Amino acid sequence: MQFDLFPTDLHLTCIDPAHNKWRFYALSVQPTLFGDWVLVREWGRIGRSGRRRHDHYQHAGTALDALHELARQKRRRGYKASRAV
C-alpha cells in the first residue's frame, strides 16, 4: 500500500455514542475548468447528506495548505481519519 505525500482527499469521523455524536467531515482538493483550484468541504451526521462548501484558490499548494490546516483543527476536536468516502 502506498500513501500519498500530499493527499487531496480526506474523510474524518467523530463518533461518541455516549453523547449521541456521529459526525463526518470530508475534504477534497479539485481542479476547476478555469485553471484554479477548489477545496470542497462536506460535513454532517453519518448516514445523512451533509452540508457542502466550496472555497476557491489560485494555486493547488494554497488549497492543500488549507486542507491540512482544516484537518489539523478537526483532529484537535476529536475527529479521526476514516477510509470510508
pLDDT tens for the 85 residues of the chain, in order: 444 566 789 999 999 999 999 999 999 999 999 999 999 999 999 999 999 999 999 999 999 999 999 999 999 999 999 875 4
d(CA 47, CA 70): 22
Question: DSSP string covering 47-58, please?
Answer: TS--EEEEEEES
Structure pTM?
0.83
At the fourth CATH level, the homologous superfamily of domain 9-28+40-81 is WGR domain (2.20.140.10)
Domain ranges of the chain: 9-28+40-81
d(CA 53, CA 43): 9
DSSP-based helix, strand, coil % in the chain, nearest 5: 25, 45, 35
